[in-house]
Amino acid sequence: MPDTTTLAQAKPAKASVARTEHFDVVIVGAGISGIGGAYHLTTQSPGRSFVVLESQESFGGTWLTHKYPGIRSDSDLYTFGYRFKPWTGKPIATAHEIRTYMNEVIDDNDLARHIRYRHKIISASWSSQDNLWTLEGVRTDTGEAVRFTANFLWMCQGYYRHDEGYTPEWQGMESFKGRIVHPQTWPEDLDYSGKKVVVIGSGATAATVIPAIAEKSEHVTMLQRSPTYFIPARNANDLADTLRQLEVDETWIHEIVRRKILHDQAVFTKRSFEEPEQVKKDLLAGVSAYLGPDHNLDPHFMPSYRPWRQRIAFVPDGDLFRAVRSGKASVVTDEIEKFVENGILLKSGKVLEADIIVTATGFHLNVMGDIGFAVDGKPLDFADTVTYRGMMFTGVPNMVWVFGYFRASWTLRADLVADFVCRLLGHMQEKGARKVGVTLRPEDKDMKLLPWIDPENFNPGYLMRGMHLLPKRGEKPEWQHTQDYWGEKNIFPAIDLDDPAFVYG
Ligand SMILES: Cc1cc2nc3c(=O)[nH]c(=O)nc-3n(C[C@H](O)[C@H](O)[C@H](O)COP(=O)(O)OP(=O)(O)OC[C@H]3O[C@@H](n4cnc5c(N)ncnc54)[C@H](O)[C@@H]3O)c2cc1C
């Protein structure tokens, strides 16, 4: 790894930074995107120096941060897994299984030497004079200031703040005598055995925590403002199991099963737009099969919105519904008036008694890892930029961000964006360019600029709360994150890097 002490000497360093290290590429974040990025750089763009900077003590990102009981994926690992590494376990995996898989990627490809843990990046500034990014950060273990320079910045820092979840302010919270816990910072010592627990929320997290703690608790109540769609089904993939019985090679199984799942998802998504009422009926029938014929789905399991406006969580083996059926868990659809000493007073006037309240109320969306960005000395507000295909931004050179899919597995896009980055780096090298940016072309100048995503299309709370922070999209597909894997898998490899939208220097 080259150490550009010379560069540090040329520019006066802050007294607390001992030296500046230089890399061709800096990847921020060692989650599924960053580790994938490191793999792709090593295999598709060998010879480039790079480092992965990660603020936490290990790799995994989402799968390290979340430690609540039952923590698992809500989409299948054949597609959430990387394109290049077969998944051989059950489709829905625990955080531990996902980290084990990622660890194998790190070991098999000798990536550990490229990763620096406990390196939190605080600022990133681009200099057009030097064609370099300078990243300043701090070591979270020693407090030591660190500085890196890079020709290219690959942002794999995800989309939400890792050190705290989002909890709304409710009146009377301080008067509640029990414990209030957010799943993202689940206390190791939390003893819920024999306790009354209320879980606020009805998303994938609530659906995971509730069955995981139902057995030991006295009772768990899911308190939801409105119901959510779920897909309850056996945690198995019949096609994968058959192919294994036939002793088909795991590499083939991975590819075939991925294609089958993606095909089925595409059909499902299309149907949910074209015949939402029928899709709704099918989804409700799936829930009913686990709850039993006597259980009325209305009001607790009957969403009012169109399927696919929010991510639909897979409920492996219908465990949430089995917990409800057993009587260990129940659902209340109501609104919170305020917290009281012994629980929650609802708008209906009823009090939900609780010893522990779990606020499964979502994330704090953050843009670019709360890093303060500047371009040529001017602070950068990403909301003032326009995105090129949800990965590059006008006025921000030599940088790509990985933002995955909402309705398909995130990693599908992480792989596609990685191919694009490696191709772009190669193209810059061929052209002898030190800088690449994106700009609106003459024909784009009158294009209407819109929020990052159409709320009519997809509208979970964390996005609605944070939309004003995100880059703008344009009306044309080049200037938006289309959320369409099926289109992008063909379009991305064919992107003309000499299109006038790309400006080299
Ligand atoms: C509980 C949960 C379950 C999910 N399940 C699924 C699922 O089943 N399928 C799916 O497709 N998606 C799922 N998602 C979405 C999920 O976040 C992504 O799929 C994926 O894991 C994101 O990977 P990532 O590497 O891009 O980001 P992250 O996992 O968020 O990792 C980003 C990393 O960057 C680091 N970082 C951030 N800022 C800085 C900084 N300033 N300096 C240094 N390091 C920094 C963070 O510490 C973190 O380790 C889930 C999300 C959550 C919260």
pLDDT of residue 460: 75
- Look at ligand 1, atom 16, and give the residue with the nearest C-alpha: 62
Dist CA 133 CA 131 (whole Å): 7
Tokens 């703040």 belong to residue: 161
Ligand 1 and 201: CB distance under 6 A: no
**Lookup result for tokens 């009823």:** 350
Ligand 1 center from residue 60 Cα (angstroms): 8
Range 452-458 contact pairs with CB under 8 angstroms and sequence separation of 24 or more: 452/387, 452/481, 453/481, 453/483, 457/309, 457/483, 458/308, 458/309, 458/310, 458/406, 458/407, 458/483
- 8 Å CB contact between 123 and 336: no
The position carrying tokens 């936490």 is 56
Dihedral Cα 366, 368, 372, 375, nearest 10 deg: -140
User: In this predicted structure, what is the pLDDT of residue 462?
Assistant: 81
20-162+366-504 CATH choice from 3.10.129.10, 3.50.50.60, 3.30.565.10, 3.40.50.970 = 3.50.50.60
Which residue from 169, 168, 176, 173 is spatially nearest to 196, judged by alpha carbons? 176
Rounded CA separation 44/407 (Å):
28
- CB count in 10 Å sphere of residue 102: 26
Other Cβ atoms closer than 10 A to 10: 11
Please give the number of the atom of ligand 1 that sits closest to the Cα of 183. Answer: 1
**How many angstroms does the Cα of residue 31 sit away from the middle of ligand 1?**
6
Task: Write down the pLDDT at residue 360.
Answer: 96
Residue 481: both structure tokens together = 């994150």
Tell me which residue has its CA closest to atom 53 in ligand 1. 62
**What are the tokens at 145?**
């200031």
CA proximity to 312, closest of 287, 343, 349? 287
Judge if the beta carbon of residue 28 lies within 6 A of ligand 1: yes
Is the CB of residue 118 below 6 angstroms from any atom belonging to ligand 1? no
> What is the CA(39)–ligand 1 centre distance, in A?
17
Where do the structural domains in the chain lie, given as residue ranges?
Answer: 20-162+366-504, 167-361
DSSP symbols for 253-279: HHHHHHHHHHHHHHHHHHHHHH-HHHH
Helix (H, G, I), strand (E, B) or coil at 198: strand
Give residue 462 CA to ligand 1 midpoint distance, Å: 14
Pocket test for ligand 1, best of 314, 410, 416 (most atoms within 8 A of CB): 410
Find the 16 Cα to ligand 1 centroid distance in Å: 31
The pLDDT, as a whole number, for residue 311 is 73
E runs forming strands in 363-487: 372-375, 378-379, 387-388, 392-393, 399-401, 436-438, 449-450, 473-474
Q: How far is the CA of 307 from the centre of ligand 1 (A)?
A: 24
Question: Hey, what are 189's tokens?
Answer: 């010592």
Task: Calculate how far, in angstroms, residue 56's C-alpha sits from the geometric centre of ligand 1.
Answer: 12
Report which protein residue has its CA nearest ligand 1's atom 52: 62
Q: Which fold has domain 167-361?
A: FAD/NAD(P)-binding domain (3.50.50)
Ligand 1 near 409 CB (within 6 A): yes
Q: Do domains 20-162+366-504 and 167-361 have the same CATH topology?
A: yes
* Cα 13 to averaged position of ligand 1 atoms, centre (Å): 32
Q: Give the separation between CA 208 and CA 329, rounded to whole angstroms.
A: 12
Question: Which residue's C-alpha comes closest to atom 26 of ligand 1?
Answer: 158
Assess contact for 385 and 138: CB atoms under 8 A. Answer: no
Q: Find the helix or strand (DSSP H, E) in which 491 lies.
A: helix 485-491
**Nearest CA to 397 among 161, 127, 29?**
127
User: What pLDDT sits at residue 215?
Assistant: 96
Q: How many CB atoms lie within 10 A of CB 249?
A: 10
Distance CA 474, CA 491 (A): 17
Structure tokens at 67: 């430690």
In 29-118, the DSSP E strands lie at 50-53, 115-116
Does residue 203 have its Cβ closer than 6 Å to ligand 1?
no
String of b and e for 205-242 (b: at least 16 CB within 10 Å)? bbbbbbbbbbeebebbbbbbeebbbbbbbebebeebee
Per-residue pLDDT of the chain (505 residues; tens, 9 = 90+): 333 333 333 333 444 777 999 999 999 999 999 999 999 999 999 999 999 999 999 999 999 999 999 999 998 999 999 999 999 999 999 999 999 999 999 999 999 999 999 999 999 999 999 999 999 999 999 999 999 999 999 999 999 999 999 999 999 999 999 999 999 999 999 999 999 999 999 999 999 999 999 999 999 999 999 999 999 999 999 999 999 999 999 999 999 999 999 999 989 988 988 999 999 999 999 999 999 988 999 999 999 888 877 778 889 999 999 999 999 999 999 999 999 999 999 999 999 999 999 999 999 999 999 999 999 999 999 999 999 999 999 999 999 999 999 878 999 999 999 999 999 999 999 999 999 999 999 999 999 999 998 877 777 778 888 888 999 999 999 999 998 999 999 999 999 999 999 999 9
pLDDT at 9: 34
Provide the 3-class DSSP secondary structure of residue 187: coil
Residue 229: phi and psi, rounded to 5, are: -85, 145
Phi first, then psi, for residue 147 (nearest 5°) are -140, 135
Closest atom of ligand 1 to 366 CA is 38
